[in-house]
Amino acid sequence: MKILVVGAGATGGYFGALLARAGRDVTFLVRPGRAAVLRTRGLRITGKGTEDWEPLTPQLALADELSEPYDLILLAVKATALDAAVEAIRPAVGPSTTIMPFLNGLAHVDRLTAEFGADAVLGGVVKVVTTLTPEGDIVRLAPLSQLTFGEQAGGLSKRVEEIREVLDVPGIDAVASADALGAMWSKWAFIVTMGALTCLGRGTVGEVNAVAGGSSLGPALLAEASAVAAAAGYPVPSGELDFTRTVVTTQGSSLVPSLYRDVVDGRPTEAEHLFGDLTARARTAGVATPLLDLATLQLRVHEHRVGGGQ
């Protein structure tokens, strides 16, 4: 199976490297700058448990070098890079190509489905704790490394099982799901709850919970997000709701999501993809989300500022 990994950053680079190390036929679609780094340094992964991993010499392709279809395309880019990625992969998409995106939220699934058809696009969720160093190396911060994916229509199919077998290599927990969209909604609810909590509270989870009234904010945000998911037909399982409530009310927690770090550092975020889309779906479904609406407004002001509008 020919695999094209779009992006060789902290997520795509990590999973693509594990697949390549296991002998899978993997090509990374990268930009010229990233290609130069990888050709010079190789694809390096560091962190506990990777001490004996040699730098990988990856197969690379630039957008203008794609000319034949791939069997599987793993799309691991930021939402802000989705439009460019859609155009870049067109030459790599054939009648039998399966596209497996691992962005957060659901707007990207709608976009990819509109471009390539529902049969070509799977739903998917990634769980991994990695980051990229200034030198371009990938640091594994925890051993968690899971890919959950499945048909948009639900159920288990032959192709999903075949893909699971290909992705089931050392270091990757590949899970074929009969409810991939449900898994995506659950993760989406968690992400916007965490993002809104820290952005509205302007601090870590522990700092928000340390002040009067702070401990009620996380559960209130979760209630709004999960209500939108339920209205869409994908109620968040009770166990995941309990987990998220625990995370967002933990005293002394230093946890902050990447979205909040981007805000603090003055970088663009995935605000519209994650918050704008969710609140729009809430309005369509008639679900009130006043706290998430406020977080969305705050993030839009941030985007306006860092985008040069202020």
Domain coordinates in residue numbering, the chain: 2-178, 182-309
State the CATH class of domain 182-309. mainly alpha
* Cα separations in angstroms, 241 against 65, 126, 223, 237, 298: 45, 18, 9, 6, 25
Domains 2-178 and 182-309 in one fold: no
Strands (E) in the chain, as ranges, are 2-6, 25-29, 45-46, 59-61, 72-75, 98-101, 122-132, 138-151, 173-176
pLDDT of residue 309: 53
Helix pair 238-248, 180-201: axis angle to 10 deg:
20
Q: What percent of the chain has pLDDT over 70?
A: 99
State the CATH class of domain 2-178. alpha beta
Q: What is the largest CA-CA distance in the chain?
A: 59
At residue 207, φ and ψ (nearest 5 deg) are -65, -40
To which H or E segment does residue 111 belong? helix 107-116
Kind of pairing, strands 72-75 and 59-61? Answer: unpaired
pLDDT of residue 310: 47
For the chain (310 residues), the mean pLDDT of every run of 10, in chain order, is 96 96 97 95 91 92 96 95 96 98 96 97 95 92 93 96 98 97 98 98 97 98 99 98 97 93 94 98 98 98 81
SS3 at position 206? helix
pLDDT digits (tens, 9 = 90+) for 12-49: 999 999 999 999 999 999 999 999 999 999 999 999 88
Assigned token pair, 199: 């952005």
pLDDT of residue 308: 56
